[in-house]
Structure 1
Amino acid sequence: MSGEIISAQNPLVNDELIENLKSLSVSQSLTTYTDGIRKLHMQLKHATQNGLSNNIPFAFSMAANLYRIVPLLDKLLSNDDKDGYNNFIETKTFLDTLAHAFENVCFFEIFAMAKATIPIQSIFHKYIFLLKENYFTDDDKYDGLVNCLLPIISYASILTRITEDQIPADLLNYLLKFTKRHWLSQHREKVIKNILGLIKCCSINPALIPMVIRHEWPHACVQWLGNKDSGTGQRPSYTIDYYICLIIQKMARHANCVEILNQLNCLKRLDECKELMRKAHTDSEYNCLHLLFGMIYALLMESDEIKQLSVSNNERMCQVINEIVLYTLEACRNERFFYKCFHVAEMLGVLSKLFVNDDILLKFVNEDNQLFDFLSQLLIDFNNITRDTSRTHQPVNDETLLTLTNLLWSISFHECYHEKFEKNATLMNVVSDLSIATSLSVTTQMKLMPRDMCSLKKAAEGILWNLKPASSPSSCQISDEKTQQPLAMISYSHSNTTFCRELVENLSAHVPVWVDYKQAKDAVAHSDDLWEEIARAMELATAIVLIVSKEYYNSKSCRQELSYASDALKKRIIPIYPGDQQYRASGWLGIRIAGQKYIHFGRKPFAEAIEELSSVILTDQKLNIVTLTQPTVTSSSSCATHPIKMIDEENKLLSAMKNWTTKDIRKWFEDNQIHKDLITLLIDQFHTGTALIVYARHLKLFYRNEYIRIFKNYLKIFHGKKMNTFDFIQFVDALYRLRSDYDPNSTIEDSYEKQSEQQLPPTIKCTNDPITRL
């Protein structure tokens, strides 16, 4: 192999060294060996005087040929008695020099030179079984040999497909025993670092994670965070601490390892060791550790915890996320998609977890104009890369494509980015291809892949559905399908399947119901193939019955359904709570159902709740029929031309509100327990009661626009303080109830507006999601 590599630095000397190394492997006498190892050592020092980083072809040759003399080196290191002592010293000195040279070079860059994986596979298999348990003893005589072998094995394992049967069964076990004995020893630090480096590489590979767990490496790493098995408060060097955290970060990317780490209270241990590490290491070192802490937290936290995070006043969190974004961009620019020991898939996995929080997503995608473009181009690139079935990084490349698609799906929920999606024709073609592709939709659903990910196909379909314009079936189409039109479509999370089935069984006795599991074979709900049917059901439904739950809030698929029903189709949403539901809607779900009349099945008999729900749905159905008989509305129509008959008593209610004073308005705010900050912000904007009614109607039509306007004013008036979403929801709910009480025509008016808006030209409709301007 060495004959194929041309060194840029003294090629003749380097080639001679490799040939001498080969000759040494067949040395027949101690004298011949002594002279040969001395000469080899002199040549090695000359070849590495400027470091192996400047002589990568030579480094590759050394890695490809060193295995030849390992049995001989092993024999001579074992013979350290008086007769063999000189050879022992010469061997140890040579290995120490080589290990030092290896320490200062990145073998990943060296091995990545190979155009095919076969040479790397060959190197891995030649070295992995050369390791012996007796090399890892309290005697350091084998340390130089170990420090040469481990980096070669570790980095070769990253660039080739490794399975458990290709690794000695007891390897991870005796490495752990040795590490537990010496992880605080400065004298053995290089060996410990290289062992941890191998475990780090094993923890990257999903196929090796079961073996890593079985040999209890997660348990050991979590214990070391708090020095639990040392009995002291002593910390190891920064390098060892960094590698321990790095291993945990790699493990936390795999679903089955997350379960173990959480059982071991890993996050609690991280909190406990932070101050110890801060005191033990420099500021720059601690900042690197803190970045790893941030990645680990994101990977181990549940989605609902992340959704509750606030970045507005958390400078440290902002710093961590900024660094992750920076690492992502730098890895994108790198030919091999690596930056500082991290593959881009690792940063993308963290961002994918964090971007379930809309505030975090909007803040960082808005602040960095490059991020969306980089993610889009990366999806295009990896779509091409994954088509090559002979590629070296197949698992991590598949994972990158999966994560990118899920990330862009999260972004596509926000309308301000729709134009960016639609302007990138190549991106849209790739997403469209992925939505119908099946080659990766199975492999990327492996249990060992990062959790909280939907399949590639489903994520791609999700992007397309979010970008899909509202469908506006004509009145004649609705009339033709009237007898078959389902009145209620059920939108729910799988976790509420039991309640959903009971609901459907009882509600079906009153109104026709569409629910996904009745359409799917084998009762598999929310499958990839049901998207079209779900969308069609929503288009035909009178109302969407939403089963509110924490799991619904956490599900992108459920958010997808509600976004399409509410934003694109402008359907009536009827939130209902199961009897045992303690969850209170928040975040995006709380905003979308704010002001909607809901039914809680835990606050009244089940049969009574069913009666109320069916009554609401049937009332909506009658209103739709009335609305469809109204004259067609053109773009020049105004509210004054609406054929709505006002009754005298209703006019009297509205007239009475005209006489409300500022004192009456303030009393209304206070009686409805509106937050004092919102009162301060809004009270001067209303001078009559009817102004509140008009604003309630305006808010119904332009809810998100008003939310963002008030949110921004709140930040400005109260010097950066963030408005609590629940306080705003309470204000909106009070307004809607006020309008319902004093304006009985409001329900018909809303229904008419819904139909009218569907008939307006697309240019008249509001297409920008103002929440994204936060």
Structure 2
Amino acid sequence: MSEEFQQIHDLYEKLHEILRTNQSLALNDVLTDISNLATHLSLVFSSIPIDTVDIFEYILKSCLELLDTTEFIDIIVQHHSVLWTSFIGSLWKSLTDIHGLDIIDRMTISGRQHMFYRLLDQLNLSKSLEAFLQTNVCSQLTSVEQKTRGFVGCILILTLRQLRVLITNSTDLELDKYQTNLFPRLFHFLDDYFATNERSQTDLLVHEILLFFVDISGLTKTIPIFIQINCPQLCLQWLTLPYLSLDEYEFILRIICNTARHDDGVAILRYHKCHQILNQFRNEISGQILAFILDSEKKEYCMLTCFITMVLCYQSNELNNDSIRVFINDYLIDAIFCTIYDSKLKYLGFHLAEFWIVVMKLCRDDYYMNCILENEKRIKMLQLITGNFLYYSDVTRINDLSGRLTLMALINILWSISFHPRYRKDLLEDLIVIERLETIRLNDQLDKVVLFDYTPRHVYSLKRAADGVLHNLGGKTSIPISPCFPAKNSVFSLRISYSHDDMHFCRELYDVLVKLPQLSISIDFQNGKYLWNEVAQTIQQCHLMLLLVSPSFYQSSSCRQEFIYATSTLKKPFISILIDADYQAKGWLETRVKHICFGQEDFQTNVDQLLSLIGEQLSIELPSVSSLTNSKNIQQWNSSDVQQWFVNHGIKSELYEFYQFKSGHELLLYAQAMRGYQWTKEYERIRLRFEGRFSEQQQHLSSYEFLKFINALEHLRNKC
């Protein structure tokens, strides 16, 4: 412990003793000494940098503990508020000075993480902070109460600033323990603040809380925590308010954008009409605000964030072609170039990996891919993509998360490009690219590390994507075609090709087809675990392909490769099932698909039509779906059957305990009662009772979990 640290420690011990004994005169001297030490803390940095960080942690924790004492209000607030204000000002200045240096970067990852959680635990345990966050901002307060709130707010700001600089890529490991107390309180405070059109001294604190959540939500694994506390819908709701500041809109937009990087986040944003709200914000609110803003970067940031979120959340058939073309030519390409030439590979807060992932998503659609590669700026994007691919495949190391994401995005982009003859020739001529793809295909070292990261479903592994590119280029991965053997013992092989976004529908269909003794079903439930070699051999040996067509199927490189290989290369018989009655196949899919459309009638009728088509294709007789269903129908289910239904659909087990359905009949009655009833109202009614029931376990019911239950009920009702 350094001399300065010892002095601070002794002064705080003395301060507590003085407060306990109410020695008012001595208190002046101690507060003055603490203030002077806080003023000169930045000087300690030059001799003992790490000790300076420890001192700040000690001071912040001591202040939070002090705020929880009655003596703080009775003595310091009422009689020594000027000296305390001076101390806070000194601490504020020193902390600002030190954050401008590289002191935190010198700490170990483990050291930063432990300090982060120690401070966060202190916030979580603070009773004064809990009271502060739960007090309505419009409440009429006495002078003492106002001063107390001001001091609590200042310490919270300083602590949040320190927490933000301590965040690392590993910070997400234990954050879920704050989703039942601290995080909901902070969001409640924000929601209460935004509900009033009043600007006050609280603005700075609001900005710090938002910035803290911007940084935390940037760790993609934390998004399920944000969903549990209803953060996405709150942020979307705040975005519709016309009186927030531009900074507040920017922070809220970024949290929404970060949420869209996670598959569960996409699901909840889509449900709460993110597209409609973002368009309304761009057309009505941001236009009015940005018209008076001279800072072009702020305008660009708002546009980039809105469009990136929409691209991540929505399929190409749901986007406006003209708007996306403008986004590509006026914003996206320029942003990529600015990021590449930045020493930290960042532009307006976005990392290069984020821009390449957007390009990857857009390139799954042929129209948008052409907009990028044949852009109005005459920039040779294909050369830029291959050049970046070669660079990152060479320099990316195992512990470089951003580098791995960048490389994964680039190789997925190359996979989409390789489907097109007009660009395939350029790729074939680049022997270095082909050689590097071969190296990646044969080495899964980086892919093994990626297993511990979060990657969205639409981002394929390095090895799988390299395999796909090389197959399209006709490289060494070309599979020798073996003959399809006749059905053995009158059992025909059926291969189901689908997007993993449609897993729920696929499993429902599989559960019916697998009961047919005449069929052997081949399907990948492992989300792209198998390499192309294994997939191709399975397709070769099948007698019939079943294609589950949807917008996600269209945007999946893996589905596209299976489709082309089965229908064009092997000329396999196939049946296309259009999952969504409102979806119209487009692009490479449009001219090749004749389909049976699910959704226009009930599931059982559609399956009967499908079985009839399968029977015609294979020249066999198949029974109707009614004869395949379990003799124990839903009306005959007991409580164990109902519990198994909850498990099969991945529904929160506590919901089963909460409802305690005794039979399938009760479950079906509830499903029928929910028909035409607004699920959000039912959610609000159930949520309070649910959280009261499981208060000891600190269990919360998110709208996302409840919606999963409602969707499963709808499928159950449609089957009956």
CA–CA distance in structure 2, aligned partners of residues 580 and 328 of structure 1:
36
Q: 1:188 to 1:565 in 2, by over 3 A?
A: same
What is the CA distance between 1:289 and its match in structure 2?
1.8
**Aligned counterpart in structure 2 of residue 151 of structure 1, from 161, 166, 182:** 161
**Aligned counterpart in structure 2 of residue 347 of structure 1, from 341, 355, 380:** 355
Q: How does 1:134-173 map to 2 (within 5 A)?
A: 134-135=128-129, 136-137=132-133, 139-164=149-174, 168=178, 170-173=181-184
Query: Who is 1:177 aligned against?
Result: 188
Asked whether the equivalents of residues 422 and 428 of structure 1 are also in contact (C-alpha less than 8 Å), the reply is yes
Q: How does 1:33-52 map to 2 (within 5 A)?
A: 33-40=30-37, 43=40
Asked whether the equivalents of residues 348 and 404 of structure 1 are also in contact (C-alpha less than 8 Å), the reply is yes
Q: Does 1:244 align with 2:252?
A: yes
1:25-52 deviation line (CA, Å, top 9, x unaligned): 56666354344345346547x989xxxx
CA–CA distance in structure 2, aligned partners of residues 310 and 524 of structure 1:
33
**Aligned counterpart in structure 2 of residue 90 of structure 1, from 83, 87, 92:** 83
CA–CA distance in structure 2, aligned partners of residues 166 and 601 of structure 1:
42
What is the CA distance between 1:251 and its match in structure 2?
0.9
**Aligned counterpart in structure 2 of residue 296 of structure 1, from 294, 297, 309:** 309
Q: How does 1:371-382 map to 2 (within 5 A)?
A: 371-376=381-386, 378-379=388-389
Q: 1:142 to 1:371 in 2, by over 3 A?
A: farther
Secondary structure in 1 matching 2:171: coil
Secondary structure in 2 matching 1:130: helix
Q: Does 1:222 align with 2:236?
A: yes
Q: Does 1:405 align with 2:395?
A: no
1:699-752 deviation line (CA, Å, top 9, x unaligned): xxxxxxxxxxxxxxxxxxxxxxxxxxxxxxxxxxxxxxxxxxxxxxxxxxxxxx
Q: How does 1:305-344 map to 2 (within 5 A)?
A: 305-306=318-319, 309-311=320-322, 314=323, 317-319=325-327, 322-344=330-352
Asked whether the equivalents of residues 376 and 427 of structure 1 are also in contact (C-alpha less than 8 Å), the reply is yes
Query: Who is 2:533 aligned against?
Result: 532
Q: 1:501 to 1:526 in 2, by over 3 A?
A: farther
Q: 1:253 to 1:601 in 2, by over 3 A?
A: closer
Asked whether the equivalents of residues 382 and 397 of structure 1 are also in contact (C-alpha less than 8 Å), the reply is yes
Query: Who is 1:123 aligned against?
Result: 115
Q: 1:191 to 1:549 in 2, by over 3 A?
A: same
Q: Does 1:278 align with 2:287?
A: yes
Asked whether the equivalents of residues 496 and 546 of structure 2 are also in contact (C-alpha less than 8 Å), the reply is yes
CA–CA distance in structure 2, aligned partners of residues 178 and 429 of structure 1:
55
Secondary structure in 1 matching 2:459: coil
Q: 1:17 to 1:88 in 2, by over 3 A?
A: farther
Query: Who is 1:263 aligned against?
Result: 271
Asked whether the equivalents of residues 202 and 212 of structure 1 are also in contact (C-alpha less than 8 Å), the reply is no
CA–CA distance in structure 1, aligned partners of residues 59 and 574 of structure 2:
73
Asked whether the equivalents of residues 444 and 456 of structure 1 are also in contact (C-alpha less than 8 Å), the reply is no
What is the CA distance between 1:528 and its match in structure 2?
4.5
CA–CA distance in structure 2, aligned partners of residues 353 and 239 of structure 1:
28
1:565-618 deviation line (CA, Å, top 9, x unaligned): 677x5x657665559996654211235x39xxx697999998997798689xxx
Asked whether the equivalents of residues 304 and 331 of structure 2 are also in contact (C-alpha less than 8 Å), the reply is yes
What is the CA distance between 1:253 and its match in structure 2?
1.0
Range with greater deviation from structure 2 (289-298 or 74-83): 74-83
What is the CA distance between 1:92 and its match in structure 2?
2.6
CA–CA distance in structure 1, aligned partners of residues 484 and 259 of structure 2:
55
**Aligned counterpart in structure 1 of residue 218 of structure 2, from 189, 204, 208:** 204
CA–CA distance in structure 2, aligned partners of residues 321 and 244 of structure 1:
25
**Aligned sequence identity (%):** 20
What is the CA distance between 1:86 and its match in structure 2?
7.3
Q: 1:530 to 1:341 in 2, by over 3 A?
A: closer
TM-score when normalising by structure 2: 0.63
Secondary structure in 1 matching 2:167: helix
Q: Does 1:493 align with 2:493?
A: no
Q: 1:72 to 1:505 in 2, by over 3 A?
A: closer
Structure 2 regions of 5+ residues with no counterpart? 16-25, 138-148, 599-605, 620-720
CA–CA distance in structure 1, aligned partners of residues 329 and 13 of structure 2:
55
Give the partner amino acid of 2:56: L
TM-score when normalising by structure 1: 0.59
Query: Who is 2:60 aligned against?
Result: 70
CA–CA distance in structure 2, aligned partners of residues 371 and 90 of structure 1:
61
What is the CA distance between 1:254 and its match in structure 2?
0.8
Q: 1:43 to 1:555 in 2, by over 3 A?
A: closer
Asked whether the equivalents of residues 484 and 540 of structure 2 are also in contact (C-alpha less than 8 Å), the reply is no
The aligned length equals 557
Give the partner amino acid of 1:493: S
Secondary structure in 2 matching 1:162: helix
Secondary structure in 2 matching 1:158: coil
Give the partner amino acid of 2:497: S
CA–CA distance in structure 2, aligned partners of residues 403 and 243 of structure 1:
25
What is the CA distance between 1:235 and its match in structure 2?
1.4
Query: Who is 1:557 aligned against?
Result: 558
What is the CA distance between 1:493 and its match in structure 2?
2.6
Q: 1:125 to 1:371 in 2, by over 3 A?
A: farther
**Aligned counterpart in structure 1 of residue 465 of structure 2, from 447, 459, 479:** 459
Give the partner amino acid of 2:288: K
